[in-house]
Structure 1
Amino acid sequence: MHKINPNKLLMSKWTSTSPQQKEKHFIVTTIIRDEDDKVTECVLEAVINKNEYLLPWQDLTSPDHWLQGWK
């Protein structure tokens, strides 16, 4: 399991371990906070086609699905 500081996710790079539609490399373009200013979700943008996906930031901690950086 990756240790991630959710406050430092913005503009971080990620690689999907199971690419769909040739979308392998992603950048976190937005972080979403709740009323207590805690990060709850993030928006990942696929580098190849600019598609955006909203997901809970904790999903990035799974090495079965995500690798930090572009591999």
Structure 2
Amino acid sequence: MNAVHPKKLLLSKWTAVRPEGREKHFLVSALVLPDAPGEALEWVEIEAVHSRCSQRIQWRELRDAERWRQGWV
């Protein structure tokens, strides 16, 4: 399991373990803040470095070491 804290996710770098196409390296480009204040962060937006395509995922998915590696490997 990757050790990740939601407050330190913004602009963090990630490598997909099983890349699709040429999208291997990603950057957390935005934190999707909850509507109600005081609620926990659930979603982040990650952007592929190669294609600049972005997608929204739950930040806890980044903790799965079978799918993501922290940093650009």
TM-score if structure 1 supplies the norm length? 0.94
- Provide, for residues 20-41 of structure 1, a one-character-per-residue CA deviation record: whole Å limited to 9, x for no partner: 1110000000011222252110
CA displacement at 1:51 relative to structure 2: 0.3
- C-alpha RMSD of the superposition: 0.9
Partner of 2:29: 29
The percentage of counterpart residues that share the same residue type is: 34
Count of residue pairs brought into register by the alignment:
71
Partner of 1:69: 71
Q: Which runs of 5 or more structure 2 residues have no equivalent in the other structure?
A: none
- Secondary structure at 1:4 match in 2: coil
- Secondary structure at 1:39 match in 2: coil
Q: Which runs of 5 or more structure 1 residues have no equivalent in the other structure?
A: none
CA displacement at 1:54 relative to structure 2: 0.4
Regions of 4+ moved over 6 Å: none
TM-score if structure 2 supplies the norm length? 0.92
Matches within 5 A, 1:30-45: 30-34=30-34, 35=36, 36-45=38-47
- Secondary structure at 2:47 match in 1: strand
Bigger shift: residues 25-34 or 59-68:
25-34
- Secondary structure at 1:38 match in 2: coil
The correspondence for 2:48, drawn from 34, 37, 46, is: 46
**Distance between the aligned counterparts of 1:39 and 1:3, measured in 2?**
16
CA displacement at 1:62 relative to structure 2: 0.3
